[in-house]
Amino acid sequence: MIRITAKLAGFRRAGVAHSKEATEYADDAFTKEQLKALQDEPNLVVEIVADGAGKAPGSVKPPTAEELIEKIKLAATVEEIGLILGEDSRKTVIAAAVARRAELEMPK
């Protein structure tokens, strides 16, 4: 698992707007090159942790719908929306993803 915390809210690297709150990603969420760029970035704290490391069983708290919606609103690409959305099936989160995707795909 990769845990990333930004020193500046919304700081962008590897196609993702990072939060000041720690966000966890799957080990394969980024390419090797992206992971290196993330780790080399002084505005980010990047931790590579074993799944469940340092946490009591069952203590991993999934992000709230509000947290995901805020990240979706900051997304700069459709691909980033997909990373944020993951397998979340909450209607409000999906609606936010659909709306942001429409904004990004709108001709300029």
H/E stretch holding 6 reads strand 2-6
What is the residue-level pLDDT of the chain in tens, covering all 108 positions? 899 999 988 899 998 999 888 888 888 888 899 999 999 999 999 998 876 555 544 555 778 889 899 989 988 888 889 888 888 889 999 999 999 999 999 887
Q: DSSP letter string over 8-70?
A: STTEEETTEEEPSS-EEE-TTSS-HHHHHHHHH-TTEEEEE--TTTTS-TT--PPPPHHHHHH
Sequence spans of domains, the chain: 1-57, 62-108
pLDDT tens for 36-53 read 999 999 999 999 887 655
Beta bridge partners of 77: none
Token representation of residue 96: 């936010």
Beta bridge partners of 13: 16
